[in-house]
Amino acid sequence: MKRRTLIVLVIILLFGSFAGYAFRSALNPYVSFAAAAETSRTVQVSGSLDYDSISFDATRNLLTFHLTDESGTTAKVVYNGAKPNNLEHATSVVVAGRFEDGTFLASRMLVKCPSKYTDGKGS
C-alpha cells in the first residue's frame, strides 16, 4: 500500500512540474522595445502603429511596419503572415516575438480596433 502511494505521489509531482514548466514557457510578458532587445526570449510589445510605414509583400506574405511602444521607442517590425484586414483602423497593435539584428521579428500579432458596437458618442 505504501509503495503504491509513493508511486502515485511521484507521478503527481512529475506531472505538476511538467505543467508548471509548460505554463511558464507559454507566458509572454509585455515589455518595451528596449527590454525586448536585451532578451532572447519571446516577449510581447504593445504600441501605436505608424500607418505610413505599412508595407505588405503579398508574394512573400511579409508585413513590415513601424511600431512605437508605450515608452516612446519606435522599432521596425516584420511579421511573416497574412495582413489583418482591419490594420488601417487599429487603435493599438500587440506583437509577440523577439529582436534580431535591430528588427523585431513578430511571430504573432493582435490588432486592437475601436469597437463596432459603440454608438459614436464614445459609449
Does the residue 89 lie in any domain? yes
Specify if 15 maps to a domain. Answer: no
In a domain, 48, yes or no: yes
Sequence-distant (≥ 6) Cβ neighbours of residue 71 within 8 angstroms: 32, 33, 34
- Answer yes or no: is 52 within a domain: yes
| Distance from C-alpha of 71 to C-alpha of 47, rounded to nearest angstrom | 9
Instruction: Give the CATH number, domain containing residue 67.
Output: 2.40.50.140
pTM: 0.71
- Tell me: pLDDT of 70 over 60: yes
Residue 50: inside a domain: yes
Q: What are phi and psi of 75, to 5 degrees?
A: -140, 155
pLDDT, tens digit, 9 for 90 and up, residues 87-111: 888 888 999 999 998 899 999 999 9
Domain that holds residue 50: 33-112
Residue 20 lies in a domain: no
pLDDT on residue 25: 56
**Number of domains composing the chain:** 1
Kindly report, residue by residue over 34-68, the tens digit of the pLDDT. 888 898 888 999 999 999 999 999 899 999 999 99
